[in-house]
Structure 1
Amino acid sequence: MRDGIFILVLCLVGWFGFDLLEGQRNAARSERDAALLEVSGLREAARISGEMLAARDAIDLQRTQELNDERIENDGLRRAVDAGLNRLQLNATCTAPATPAAGAGRVVDAATAELTADARQDYFTLRDQLALSRQMILGLQDHVRRVCLR
């Protein structure tokens, strides 16, 4: 009888131990499954982030190249104007004086209206700033369309 009780107690302890180990195994499986799900989510997030960064870099490269092209064109125009090969024409009129002075030049004798050297520099600065602003706006619009609205 004593051996029977010992075997019964040993079986109960074994059964409780096995039940405890099974619970720990199930908890470990649940944690593993949750970790695998989190890993797959993080991988997907990393993939999407990589695509978004690549799209952003492509937009930046394209807009920077276009801006550089516009600046090169503006510099060429500036050099041509400075060398006298091109002129900056204004849409302006010269008014005739109310009473012409003796020997003074008349409107018909006047040359075509043109920017002064200082104003020419400002004109080219404004062209460069306009090109920069345009590329920035186009780049932001591309970023919103191709990256943010994904």
Structure 2
Amino acid sequence: MLREVLFPVLLCLLAYIGFDILQGQRDTAREERDAAQSEVTGLREAARISGEMLAARDDIDRTRTQELNHARTEIDTLRLDVADGRQRLRFKATCSVTTPDNTGAGGVADAGTAELAADARSDYFTLRDQLALSKQMILGLQDYVHQVCLR
């Protein structure tokens, strides 16, 4: 009779322990699933933000490149105009005339407008091109900092 009572009790105890183990595994699996879903949500948000930042960077680059190309076109047009004689490179200058005895009235034989020498013109255009490039690079970096980095 002890066998008849002990066997069902043991069977119930084993079933209880088995269900308890299964319930623990189920709870662990749920926690892992929730953590994975949270990680997926975070990764999706990071990917969205990265995409927006890349789009902003590309927009800044496109805008600054267009402005640089426009400035370079203007410089090239000016270079061609100067080379063809349609325009002249003038700069503001004053010429002081000194005479050896400082008694006579001063005068300049060629009192034309001051102009760059021919060999200095290429340097002038190179400097203008570098200035336009530097300006767009600086403005682009400032835009990147304000629109992307400080966001």
Q: How high is the TM-score relative to the length of structure 2?
A: 0.91
How do residues 76-95 of structure 1 correspond to structure 2 at under 5 angstroms? 76-95=77-96
- Could you tell me the percent identity over the aligned residues? 66
Q: CA deviation at 1:7?
A: 1.1
Supply the distance in 2 between the matched residues of 1:14 and 1:82 (Cα, whole angstroms). Answer: 99
Indicate the SS of the match to 2:114.
coil
1:107 paired with 2:76, answer no
Q: CA deviation at 1:117?
A: 1.6
How do residues 1-150 of structure 1 correspond to structure 2 at under 5 angstroms? 1=1, 2-99=3-100, 107-150=108-151
Q: CA deviation at 1:64?
A: 0.4
Poorly superposed stretches of 4+, deviation over 4 Å:
none
Supply the distance in 2 between the matched residues of 1:109 and 1:58 (Cα, whole angstroms). Answer: 53
Q: CA deviation at 1:108?
A: 4.2
The one-letter amino acid paired with 1:70 is: A
Q: Deviations over 1:117-149 (max 9, x none)?
A: 221111111111111111111111111111112
Supply the distance in 1 between the matched residues of 2:110 and 2:72 (Cα, whole angstroms). Answer: 37
Supply the distance in 1 between the matched residues of 2:58 and 2:4 (Cα, whole angstroms). Answer: 79
Q: How high is the TM-score relative to the length of structure 1?
A: 0.91
The one-letter amino acid paired with 2:138 is: I
Supply the distance in 1 between the matched residues of 2:22 and 2:119 (Cα, whole angstroms). Answer: 88
RMSD across aligned C-alpha pairs, in angstroms? 1.4
The one-letter amino acid paired with 2:65 is: T
Supply the distance in 1 between the matched residues of 2:5 and 2:37 (Cα, whole angstroms). Answer: 47
Q: Give the total of aligned pairs.
A: 145
Where in structure 1 are there 5+ consecutive unaligned residues? 101-105
Where in structure 2 are there 5+ consecutive unaligned residues? 102-106
